């Protein structure tokens, strides 16, 4: 049974930083590309960063240069380092495989960027 648990969110001022973690259990991490998704109030969930098993990465234009995705395959854990945060980064952040499976969503972690 796959379980994804996100953590590390919080309230931060514009320009600040946060590091999100995604702990995976079940047979998902070993052979899948993984991604961070986010959903802002009133908006659809969007994919913001992906990482394949060897470590190749891709980013949405809105976060490129500010966010860094990484993974530790031995720990089945994925991270998202978020720097230079903006109010428009406010959202609930989720992890999932790429392409996603709707039955894999966790509870997400709230990120609020506000002064």
Surface-to-core class of residue 95, CB atoms within 10 Å of its CB (0-12 exposed, 13-18 middle, 19+ buried): buried
pLDDT at 50 over 90: yes
What pLDDT, on the 0 to 100 scale, is given for residue 85?
98
Q: How far apart are CA 18 and CA 4, in angstroms?
A: 19
Q: How far apart are CA 98 and CA 25, in angstroms?
A: 16
Task: Label residue 12 by pLDDT band (50, 70, 90).
Answer: very high
Q: Name the residue among 48, 45, 47 with its Cα closest to residue 82.
A: 48
> 86: helix, coil or strand?
coil
What pLDDT, on the 0 to 100 scale, is given for residue 106?
95
Per-residue pLDDT tens for 35-47?
999 999 999 999 9
> 18: helix, coil or strand?
strand
What pLDDT, on the 0 to 100 scale, is given for residue 81?
98
Q: Tell me the percentage of the chain whose pLDDT exceeds 70.
A: 100
């Amino acid at each position: 049974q796959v379980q994804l648990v996100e953590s590390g969110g919080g309230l931060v001022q514009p320009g600040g930083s946060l590091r999100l973690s995604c702990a995976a259990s079940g047979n998902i991490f070993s052979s899948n590309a993984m991604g961070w998704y986010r959903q802002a109030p009133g908006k659809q969930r969007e994919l913001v960063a992906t990482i394949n098993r060897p470590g190749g990465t891709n980013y949405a234009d809105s976060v490129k240069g500010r966010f860094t995705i990484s993974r530790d395959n031995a720990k089945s854990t994925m991270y998202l380092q978020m720097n230079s945060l903006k109010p428009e980064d406010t959202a609930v952040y989720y992890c999932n495989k790429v392409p996603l499976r709707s039955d894999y969503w966790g509870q997400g972690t709230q990120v609020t960027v506000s002064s």
